[in-house]
Amino acid sequence: MKRAERLVAIIQALMAKPNMLIPLPVLAERFGAAKSTISEDLLAVKESLAVSGLGRLETVPGAAGGVRYIPVITQEDAQNFLVDLANKLGTKDRILTGGFLYMTDILYDPSVLRPLGLVFAGAFRNRRPEVVVTIETKGIPLALYTAEALGVPMIIIRHGNKVTEGSAVSINYVSGSSKRIQTMSLARRALEPGKRVLLIDDFMKAGGTARGMMNLMAEFDADVVGTGVLMESVTPNESKLVENYLAVLRLNELDPSTGVSTVTTVLDLDLV
């Protein structure tokens, strides 16, 4: 294998296992090269990733060390992506009867979810979450891509107890938008006590669901290190039930009678 071919193959191998530590001898054996040769190749890969903005390479020294690929998105790419997404969501044909905004196609599109996952991962990586938690159903894909970008597992809170998941912890919460009492449940085996948790959801109106998720995490003695939401609605004279959350998009106006909807993006993202 020529060096150029080997470099491409190494990049593919690293990107296929983001956030996973790969020992140097494993790469040397896989590509039939000396460890010193692989080390030189990794330096070139590290420089290439830094220039392209596709991520970064972390090296862990020692006998148990190796190399780890960290997927990232640059500040500029993230902002441009979110602006385009806001423009796409702010079109007249997305307004539904009853004053709702159609987002389902966005929430199940990998080309949209992958950069969104990188945005949330970059925003919360320094808080060292150990697990990403969401509630069914539309927030699941976004949470999964965020978990992949962080290299941690994802857990799904259910609206009702599933017999196939064993005993569960259930709480009642008041939906901030409908003001109705609802129930959310999480299997006892799903989350170990004391974990550092990142909450991810697709939409926030008043914040009742997010507050319920926080209360449920308290039942597991979990430490909620952050809350990320794709979009929040701005409702006059109505405060959110949660604080210190990140919403990357904001629904400022939605008027079915005039067909006017205004979606903007957060301009102060701090990504690592």
**Helix runs in 18-96, H state only:** 24-31, 35-52, 75-89
104 secondary structure, DSSP code: H
Alpha-carbon span 78 to 92, nearest angstrom: 24
Domain-located, residue 224:
yes
56 and 84 within one domain: no
Structure tokens that stand for 220 in this block: 């597991």
Residue 73 vs residues 53, 54, 123, 207, 231: alpha-carbon distances, Å: 7, 7, 10, 28, 19
Domain-located, residue 271:
no
Alpha-carbon span 233 to 263, nearest angstrom: 9
Mean per-residue pLDDT of the chain: 92
209 and 163 within one domain: yes
**With contact defined as beta carbons under 8 Å apart, do 1 and 37 qualify?**
no
> What is the pLDDT at residue 63?
72
Choosing from 56, 71, 86, the residue where a domain stops is 71
Quick one: average pLDDT of 57-79? 90
79 and 16 within one domain: no
Q: How confident is the model at residue 177 (pLDDT cuts 50, 70, 90)?
A: low
Residues 70-106 pLDDT 10s: 999 999 999 999 999 999 999 989 999 878 899 999 9
Choosing from 16, 42, 71, the residue where a domain stops is 71
Quick one: average pLDDT of 130-136? 97
> What is the pLDDT at residue 38?
94
Q: How many other CB atoms are there within 10 angstroms of residue 96's CB atom?
A: 12
Q: How many other CB atoms are there within 10 angstroms of residue 209's CB atom?
A: 26
Domain-located, residue 201:
yes
158 and 30 within one domain: no
Of 40-44, 61-65, 175-179, the least confident: 175-179
The domain spanning residue 49 has which CATH number?
1.10.10.10
Alpha-carbon span 224 to 144, nearest angstrom: 17
The domain spanning residue 202 has which CATH number?
3.40.50.2020
Q: What is the pTM of this model?
A: 0.92
Choosing from 16, 46, 71, the residue where a domain stops is 71
180 and 87 within one domain: yes
Structure tokens that stand for 26 in this block: 């494993």
Chain CA centroid to CA 99, Å: 27
Packing angle of the helix pair 24-31, 35-52 (nearest 10 deg): 100
> What is the pLDDT at residue 164?
79
> What is the pLDDT at residue 41?
95
63 and 105 within one domain: no
86 and 162 within one domain: yes
55 and 93 within one domain: no
Closest CA to 183 of 157, 219, 203, 205: 157
> What is the pLDDT at residue 161?
78
242 and 222 within one domain: yes
Packing angle of the helix pair 110-124, 75-89 (nearest 10 deg): 130
209 and 106 within one domain: yes
Structure tokens that stand for 155 in this block: 């857990």
Quick one: average pLDDT of 24-49? 93
19 and 98 within one domain: no
Quick one: average pLDDT of 254-272? 85
Q: How confident is the model at residue 237 (pLDDT cuts 50, 70, 90)?
A: low
Domain-located, residue 169:
yes
The residue segments making up the domain with residue 220 are 75-265
Domain count, the chain: 2
**With contact defined as beta carbons under 8 Å apart, do 72 and 56 qualify?**
yes
Domain-located, residue 87:
yes
Q: Between these two residues, 46 and 98, which has the higher pLDDT value?
A: 46
Domain-located, residue 105:
yes
Domain-located, residue 36:
yes
Q: How confident is the model at residue 270 (pLDDT cuts 50, 70, 90)?
A: confident
Domain-located, residue 272:
no
Alpha-carbon span 230 to 120, nearest angstrom: 9
Quick one: average pLDDT of 180-207? 94
47 and 20 within one domain: yes
Phi, psi of 231, deg, nearest 5: -140, 140
